[in-house]
Amino acid sequence: MIIRAENLCKSYGGVNAVNKVSFAVREGSLFSFLGTNGAGKSTTINILTTLLAQTSGSATVGGYDTAREADRVRRLIGVVFQDSVLDAMLTVRENLTVRGSLYGLRGAKLKAAVDNAVQITAVAEFARQRYGHLSGGQRRRVDIARALLHNPQLLFLDEPTTGLDPKARRDIWRMIRNLQRSSGMTVFLTTHYMEEAADSDDIVVLHKGEIKAEGSPLELKTRYCSDLLKITLLNGQYIERQLAQSVDALPIIEQYKDNIANVEIINGTLDDVFLNLTEGLNNVN
């Protein structure tokens, strides 16, 4: 496992922003942390990236303790924050060159690293424009290029598409998925857009600082939502049945097979999972 968190806690003035959170991330996987604003996602990511010290518990990244071996952890990771850390007045290439030099890259190695980041994030067409003049989607591409300059083993993306229009979000995610699949890089995502987590290998749902569910997208949908069978009969009547899984529709369809005008199965989604979990928990709390 490239990440392990054990009973991770972070308190502010007696309030637990993260409360006994434990999980593991498989190397080479796309791992998603889902939760509403204030769920504790960014606090957790800040601990894992060594920007914040936990109150208790432990976390390792690449086998290194985030508290005691922060320098070693930082060499392994790239981070795309919610807010940009680049200079609006510099061009894209100038920004990347400055950032690359902070990793100790010089001369031909620095130029090669910048050229590679520009290529794999498809920012070449605006690489000579000032960062501050770019669109939101273009700036996000450059932010990701900055995080990839030193070839990290693990890329953290903290709500990377917040505020972007649907096309920009789609383009960013196409790029991230292609990068992850082609390089085998581990990607750790925090988001409150459920559809962005649909292709994840593993998902953790965080609510009020605690883990409320974890598993693959299929496992979560099987556990926390159901499919819906809709049958329209020849006489115009409708039949609806909740299904634990789609194959449960077969005996029902067989029962009405001589009187069916139309059949539709609506699959449960991660949105349904998230709403079922958080709305139920909000009612309890």
**In the 8-state DSSP scheme, what is residue 160?**
T
Helix (H) or strand (E) run with residue 32 in it? strand 30-34
Does 254 have pLDDT greater than 50? yes
Mean pLDDT of the chain: 89
CB 26 within 8 A of CB 15: no
Nearest to 226 by CA among 265, 280, 197, 267: 267
List of residues 6+ apart from 272 with CB closer than 8 A: 221, 224, 225
Name residues whose C-beta falls within 8 Å of residue 183's C-beta, 6 or more positions apart in sequence: none
pLDDT at 1 over 70: yes
Predicted local confidence at residue 145, as pLDDT: 94
Both tokens of 257, joined, read: 């097979």
For 261, list phi and psi in degrees, rounded to 5: -95, -35
Closest by CA to 91, choosing from 121, 117, 128, 126, is 128
d(CA 3, CA 59): 7
pLDDT of residue 284: 37
213 neighbors 224 (Cβ within 8 angstroms): yes
Confidence band (pLDDT; 50, 70, 90) for 282?
A: very low
pLDDT of residue 214: 93
Residue in 265, 264, 276 with CA at minimum distance from that of residue 223? 276
Q: Is 2 in contact with 25 (CB distance < 8 Å)?
A: yes
Instruction: Tell me the pLDDT band of 280, cut-offs 50, 70 and 90.
Output: low
Nearest to 33 by CA among 222, 284, 212: 212
The model carries a pTM of 0.83
pLDDT digits (tens, 9 = 90+) for 211-247: 999 999 888 888 888 888 999 999 999 899 888 778 8
Distances (CA, A) of 37 to 162, 179, 239: 11, 27, 38
Q: What is the residue whose two structure tokens read 């749902």?
A: 205
**Residue indicated by tokens 């409150």:** 192
Please give the domain boundaries of the chain with CATH numbers for all domains: 25-48+74-219 (3.40.50.300), 226-267 (no CATH)
The answer to whether the Cα torsion of 224, 220, 172, 152 is positive or negative is positive
Helices (H), the chain: 41-48, 70-76, 92-102, 107-120, 136-147, 166-183, 217-224, 249-256, 270-284
Instruction: Give tens-digit pLDDT for 112-158.
Output: 999 999 998 989 999 999 999 999 999 999 999 999 999 999 999 98
Residue 56 pLDDT > 60: yes
Amino acid identity for residue 255 in this structure: Q
